[in-house]
Amino acid sequence: MMKLSHNNAMTLLLDTHQDIEEYADTLVNNILAKKDFNFLTYPPNCGLTELEIEELKKLDNNEHLKNALRKVIADNSAGIVFNMLNIFDGTGFPKNDNDDWTGLKVVDEEPNENSEPVDDWLHDKFYETYWDWKKIRGDKEWKLDTHEE
């Protein structure tokens, strides 16, 4: 069985960072700028009551609130991804495993003789690759981190 290659691990992790950022930005714009709450997909019934929507509509649309909400949403998403990667790596366990959990592996679908196996746990590489993602994300008017260029 082909192990997970470094190239595929990096592609997966960089794509995940992009998704975290893009989903956070879209969510914040829907809430603050568009006041549109029909975009929710989880839970499947969209779960917001009219009173909750009315409270969300009261939020001011300003850059500081946008940045703060992006960071909070991105952090929540990253925490879930990190936990999932720990389960993939075998360094964490599902909360509801009922002693039936046998683990799983993330492997390359097709072998590539020129690829090197990933050299670390995915959950460790996840936070490390944020900085790689930041280099390729392009210049935007905002960022999730507080690192000064």
In eight-state DSSP terms, residue 118 is P
pLDDT in tens, 30-79: 999 999 988 888 777 777 889 999 999 999 999 999 999 999 999 999 99
Res 95: pLDDT: 87
Q: Return the H-helix or E-strand segment holding 61.
A: none
Per-residue confidence (pLDDT) for residue 105, from 0 to 100? 84
Q: Is 5 helix (H, G, I), strand (E, B) or coil?
A: strand
Q: What is residue 2's predicted lDDT score, i.e. its pLDDT?
A: 59
Where are the chain's structural domains?
Answer: 6-136
Cβ neighbours of residue 36 under 8 Å, at least 6 residues apart?
30
**What are the DSSP calls for 109-128, one per residue?**
SS--TTPPBP-S-HHHHHHH
pLDDT(136) > 70: yes
- SS3 for 1-69 is CCCCEHHHHHHHHHHHHHHHHHHHHHHHHHHHHHCCCCCCCCCCCCCCCHHHHHHHHCCCCCHHHHHHH
Q: Which residues contact 32 (CB under 8 A, 6 or more apart)?
A: 59, 60, 61, 65, 66, 69
At 50, give phi and psi (nearest 5°).
-60, -40
Q: What is the pLDDT of residues 114-125, one digit of tens each?
A: 888 888 889 989
**Is 60 or 109 the better-scoring residue by pLDDT?**
60
Q: What percent of the chain has pLDDT over 70?
A: 97
pTM for the predicted model, two decimal places: 0.86
